[in-house]
Amino acid sequence: MTETKSRVDLVKKTLDEAKAKEIQVLDVCQLTDMTDYMVIASGTSDRHVRSLGDRVLEAFREIDERPIGVEGESEGEWVLLDFGDLIVHLMHPQTRQFYDLEGLWDSDLRKRVEAGRDSESA
């Protein structure tokens, strides 16, 4: 198991224990150079979303890792934790539905797969 994959598992476990909703892992390494994985989860309130972020940060402190960046922690509507090859998005369900990150990345993946098939048949 790769180091990145074990860190993804740590995020999933931490979020599950903190009662995050609809935890999704997106493998985007073939789609972007920005990151390899995105973990997206929902919280039930501003406080819950902030708490989810705090729990993930604490889990990473325990393995002596710090994020490259943290955004949205004071508001709690959408918290983003950037660990380089792993980005964690924690959101209100309404915010998550509005931005539909899963749909955006899934759509891009479908387009790339279709483009690859087209180039193979040409």
CA distance 2 to 84: 15
Residue 45: give the domain boundaries: 3-111
Instruction: Read off the pLDDT of each residue in 22-35 and give the average, rounded to a whole number.
Output: 89
Residue 119 domain-assigned (yes or no): no
Summarize pLDDT for 74-93 with one digit per residue, the tens: 888 999 999 999 999 999 99
Instruction: Using DSSP, state whether 93 is helix, strand or coil.
Output: helix
Strands of the chain (E only): list them.
21-27, 37-42, 69-71, 78-82, 86-91
Question: Dihedral sign, CA of 24, 76, 11, 80?
Answer: positive
Residue 23 domain-assigned (yes or no): yes
The number of domains in the chain is 1
Share of the chain above pLDDT 90, in %: 66
CA distance 119 to 122: 5
Residue 73 domain-assigned (yes or no): yes
Kindly report the average pLDDT of the chain as a whole number: 87
What pTM does this model have? Answer: 0.84
Residue 18 domain-assigned (yes or no): yes
